[in-house]
């Protein structure tokens, strides 16, 4: 009984929202069949009239709701043309043909609604990924079942195998694997160890883990995705906005033409019923339903496709813009590089041992919070070196750090600082000088009678070279690196990944100026970045692209496209998806306009029966919808 009540409520809500429930064409067909049968079987007039009324109300009721709303907003739409045609058929006694018109029109709208729901189903299913409850650990370690909305950053939750991750969190204890396909599009589970982040909505397919909450439920990655998608569904593509404007004037023109098609032939001697019938047919065949639906059907399908692959477009406009890119500009740190420095070389001067140099540096840096300290410590741990104990750390901003290691003073930092503080003359090797010239950050170490150096670099993303090659292969003309780093680093990174041109030492306003110059030249430019300092450039570009949903709020708010999976190879996929959508929209517009032209000319020259006109009109509408849904298919 509850399910029937819910169904009735769903139907009522659909009608109130102006959406065609699937039962309306069935009810229309049933009423029309009874009306036709009653007319031939000499049923009572009242019963036949009731049957025809049922058919007209069922087939045209939802259209009437939409039309009244449009007229109140002083707008004309294609539903008005259909309703006038059906009413006109009834006026001249052609009840069956009017009912056929309403049946096919309501069937088309119902199938259209189902098709469009299919395009958004993958996105709306994200809402179901959010669990309602979570197992929280209190200060004593006791488990408490709480609402996910009540979790705050810093608290701990326990997640068992098979459960969904309730909020964005970091692994505190344990190791597991998570299925995060719904969030990032990755097909295989990803291993997560202590210290690694996990997205809300992911499924724990490994062992039991304890997580530290990083974001509240309302600010989780999943919630961000849902908000971005909801905004994208409301934003219209330029082509769609043009069609919406075109629809108003076109509908008024068709109404005027239909009036002329009644009055002029009648004045020239054509029987009124014949002139009126042909005018009603004109209203149907000239209705731009297929034109109007061709763009949103394809755009929504493309947005759904992109969301499943970890591409969040903020509406149809960036989707269209991406189809015709001339230049792709990249930030460096966190975009072309992983944004985390690593030690690439350890050099020992004189008779010193490289492992000892690294161990001394790690002993100092374990006490430090400098952004390069973690890289040095991680390299030491990765090599399995015995930890040395440092004490009495002293940081000198912009120069380096000092600490006592086994009772001896050890200095880490710039060469001049290290020589001054340690009293050891550091004579760098030719290799150290080469590393500095190549753009690596070289940190010197001296103490306990030994000296050496370490080269530290922000590693280029492993997929960056492939991503740039793919962009060029699909016809994106130029690539550009815009970075605040020095020229040596910019040149090295550009050469490594295959960037065509680079600009170094740029402030945020300099990046904006560089993009403005390209746009003024007539180029369509995409900017790819991830940080707060990239936000102005993302806003300036023809299309701004943010790396990763976990990036800064400023970048995410400004960007037109978000790469959820934080992989550069998604750029080429996004461009190919955009081009497929553009190609299908063009096909749909050309086909729908051609069908309208053929039907209108045929009706004016030879005459066309109303049912045949309806069939051609609604058939073309369904064809463009189905053609648009082809964008859901995977790209080869």
Give the list of residues 6+ apart from residue 129 with CB closer than 8 angstroms, or none: 164, 182, 183, 200, 201, 222
The rounded distance, in Å, linking the Cα atoms of 377 and 139 is 31
Longest Cα–Cα distance in the chain: 117
- Give the tokens for residue 277: 């019938």
Q: How far apart are the first and last CA of the chain?
A: 47
327 in Cβ contact with 541 (< 8 Å):
no
Q: Kindly report the number of other CB atoms within 10 A of residue 623's CB atom.
A: 16
Q: Is 454 helix (H, G, I), strand (E, B) or coil?
A: strand
Contacts of 170 (CB under 8 A, 6+ apart): 195, 196, 197, 198, 211, 212, 214
Q: Which of 218, 222, 231 is nearest to 313 (CA)?
A: 231
Q: What are phi and psi of 173, to 5 degrees?
A: -140, 145
Q: Are 220 and 169 in contact (CB under 8 A)?
A: no
Residues 49-74 as b/e (b if ≥16 CB within 10 A, e otherwise) read ebbbebbbebbbbbbebbbeebeeee
* CA pair distance 548, 4, nearest whole angstrom: 44
C-alpha to C-alpha distance for 616 and 612, rounded to whole angstroms: 6
Active site residue 353: no
In DSSP terms, 408 is beta-bridged to 405
Element holding 562 (H helix, E strand):
strand 561-563
- Helix (H) / strand (E) element for 313: namely strand 311-313
Which of these is catalytic: 77, 179, 331, 485?
331
Q: Count of residues for the chain?
A: 636
Task: Give the integer Cα–Cα distance in Å for 226 and 122.
Answer: 11
Instruction: Outline where DSSP puts E strands in 40-142.
Output: 133-137
Q: How far is CA 48 from CA 70, 83, 92, 467, 530, in A?
A: 32, 21, 16, 68, 68
* Catalytic machinery residues: 331
């Amino acid at each position: 009984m509850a399910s029937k009540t819910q169904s009735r409520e769903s139907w009522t809500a659909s009608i109130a929202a102006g959406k065609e429930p699937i039962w309306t064409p069935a009810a229309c067909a049933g009423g029309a069949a009874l009306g036709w049968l009653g007319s031939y079987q000499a049923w009572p007039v009242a019963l036949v009239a009731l049957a025809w009324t049922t058919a007209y109300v069922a087939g045209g009721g939802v259209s009437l709701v939409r039309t009244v709303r449009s007229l109140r907003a002083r707008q004309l739409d294609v539903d008005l043309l259909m309703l006038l045609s059906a009413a006109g058929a009834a006026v001249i006694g052609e009840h069956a043909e009017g009912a056929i018109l309403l049946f096919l029109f309501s069937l088309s709208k119902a199938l259209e609604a189902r098709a469009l729901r299919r395009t958004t189903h993958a996105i709306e299913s994200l809402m179901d990924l959010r669990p309602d409850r979570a197992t929280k650990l209190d200060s004593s370690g006791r488990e408490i079942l709480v609402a996910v909305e009540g979790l705050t950053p810093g608290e701990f939750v326990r997640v068992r195998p098979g459960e969904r991750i309730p909020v964005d969190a970091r692994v505190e204890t344990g190791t597991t694997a998570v299925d995060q396909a719904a969030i990032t599009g990755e097909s295989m589970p990803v291993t997560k160890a202590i210290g690694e982040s996990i997205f809300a909505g992911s499924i724990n397919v490994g062992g039991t883990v304890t997580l530290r909450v990083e974001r509240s439920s309302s600010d989780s990655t999943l919630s961000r995705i849902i908000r971005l998608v909801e905004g994208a569904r409301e934003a219209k593509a330029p082509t769609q906005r043009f069609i919406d404007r075109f629809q108003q004037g076109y509908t008024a023109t068709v109404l005027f033409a239909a009036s002329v098609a009644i009055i002029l032939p009648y004045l020239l001697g054509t029987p009124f019923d014949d002139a009126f019938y042909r005018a009603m047919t004109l209203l149907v065949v000239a209705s731009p339903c297929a034109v109007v639906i061709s763009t949103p059907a394809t755009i929504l399908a493309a947005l759904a496709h992109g969301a499943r692959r970890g591409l969040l477009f903020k509406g149809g406009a960036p989707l269209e813009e991406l189809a015709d890119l001339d230049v792709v500009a990249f930030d460096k740190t966190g975009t072309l590089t992983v944004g985390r420095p690593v030690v690439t070389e350890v050099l020992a001067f004189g008779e010193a041992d490289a492992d000892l140099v690294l161990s001394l540096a790690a002993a100092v840096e374990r006490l430090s919070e400098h952004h390069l300290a973690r890289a040095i410590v991680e390299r030491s741990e990765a090599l399995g070196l015995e930890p040395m104990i440092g004490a009495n750390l002293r940081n000198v901003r912009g120069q380096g750090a000092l600490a006592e290691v086994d009772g001896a003073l050890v200095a880490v930092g710039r060469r001049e600082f290290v020589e001054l503080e340690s009293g050891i003359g550091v004579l760098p090797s030719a290799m150290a000088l080469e590393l500095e010239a190549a753009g690596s950050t070289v940190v010197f170490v001296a103490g306990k009678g030994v000296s050496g150096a370490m080269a530290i670099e922000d590693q280029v993303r492993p997929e960056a070279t492939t991503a740039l090659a793919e962009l060029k292969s699909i016809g994106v003309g130029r690539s550009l690196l815009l970075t605040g780093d020095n020229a040596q680093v910019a040149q090295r990174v550009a050469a490594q990944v295959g960037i065509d041109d680079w600009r170094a030492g740029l402030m945020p306003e300099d990046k904006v100026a560089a993009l403005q110059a390209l746009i003024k030249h007539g180029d369509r430019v995409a900017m790819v970045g991830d940080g707060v300092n990239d936000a102005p450039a993302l806003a300036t570009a023809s299309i701004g692209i943010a790396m990763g949903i976990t990036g800064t709020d400023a970048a995410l708010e400004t960007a037109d496209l978000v790469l959820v999976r934080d992989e550069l190879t998604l750029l080429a996929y996004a461009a190919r998806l955009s081009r497929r959508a553009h190609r299908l929209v063009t096909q749909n517009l050309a086909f729908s306009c051609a069908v309208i032209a053929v039907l209108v000319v045929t009706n004016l020259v030879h005459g066309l029966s109303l049912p045949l006109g309806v069939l051609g009109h609604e058939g073309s509408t369904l064809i463009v919808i189905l053609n648009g849904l082809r964008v859901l298919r995977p790209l080869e």
